[in-house]
Structure 1
Amino acid sequence: MALQWMVLAWVVAVEAAVAVLVTLPAPRLVKSRIVALVSLLLQPLTAVLPFAAFQLLDIHWKNEHRLICAGDVCTTDERIRYEKSIFKAQRNVILCVLACLLYWCIYRFCKYNKEIKELEEVENRLKEQ
């Protein structure tokens, strides 16, 4: 299970790096090449969305079936282990949400750049006529 979370953490890190790379100001030619490359990579990377959704469902199921450690029934060690599991679940939810959100941001930015490029081409054609 830890391998899945490590993979998701790496995916979020890569998505964050790509988001920064795509949003940095660059010359028009370089920006268009970067956006074209990222656009090609977006379709295979869509697999992140169902993976993150499955992980969220897994977290929800584990949360519903978790033994609650409250009161004087639990020892200190059991309470610490319970709190650690809650913190890990919260961290993992944040990872899943970030994976989906960063994917969406990259997708929208690439789409906006394509639309701007198309509008510039239309404008140039109208100026030529």
Structure 2
Amino acid sequence: MALQWMILTYVVAAEAALAFILTLPSPKLLKSRLVSLVSLILQPALFVVPFSAFQLLDIYWKNEHRLTCTSEICTATERDRYEKSIHKAERNVILCVSAILLYWCIYRICKFYKELQNLEEVEKRYKDQ
């Protein structure tokens, strides 16, 4: 199970780096090449959305079937283990949601830039006429 979360962590870090690089101001040629490269990567990287959704469902199912430790019968160790598992689940939910949101942000940035390029081409054609 830890391998899944480590992979998702690396994917989120890569998505955050891509989003940061895409939003940096850069020359037009470099930006267009970068956007086209990222656009090619976006389709295979779509796996992160169903993967994160499956992980969210797994967290939900485990939360619903988790043994609660709220009574006085529980020892301090059991209570600590319970609280640690709750915090770990919360962290993993944030990780899954951020993976999905970052993917969507990168997709929208690329789509916005492509639309902007198309509008610039249309404007250039009208100016030439």
> Are 1:113 and 2:113 an aligned pair?
yes
> Which residue number corresponds to residue 4 of structure 2?
4
Q: Distance in 2 between matches of 1:54 and 1:73?
A: 34
Write the letter of the residue equivalent to 2:108.
Answer: R
Q: CA deviation at 1:56?
A: 0.2
Write the letter of the residue equivalent to 1:41.
Answer: I
Q: Distance in 2 between matches of 1:74 and 1:15?
A: 42
Q: CA RMSD in A?
A: 0.4
> Which residue number corresponds to residue 47 of structure 2?
47
> Which residue number corresponds to residue 15 of structure 1?
15
Q: Deviations over 1:27-76 (max 9, x none)?
A: 11111111010000000000000000000000000000000001211000
> Which residue number corresponds to residue 62 of structure 2?
62
Quick one: percent identity of the two aligned structures? Answer: 68
Q: Distance in 2 between matches of 1:17 and 1:112?
A: 18
Q: Distance in 1 between matches of 2:4 and 2:52?
A: 10
> Which residue number corresponds to residue 86 of structure 2?
86
Runs of 5+ consecutive residues of structure 1 not aligned to the other structure: none
> Which residue number corresponds to residue 128 of structure 2?
128
Runs of 5+ consecutive residues of structure 2 not aligned to the other structure: none
- TM-score, normalised to structure 1's length? 0.99
Write the letter of the residue equivalent to 2:59.
Answer: I
> Which residue number corresponds to residue 95 of structure 2?
95
* Displacement over 6 Å in runs of 4+: none
> Which residue number corresponds to residue 73 of structure 1?
73
Q: Distance in 2 between matches of 1:124 and 1:11?
A: 39
Q: Distance in 1 between matches of 2:7 and 2:63?
A: 22
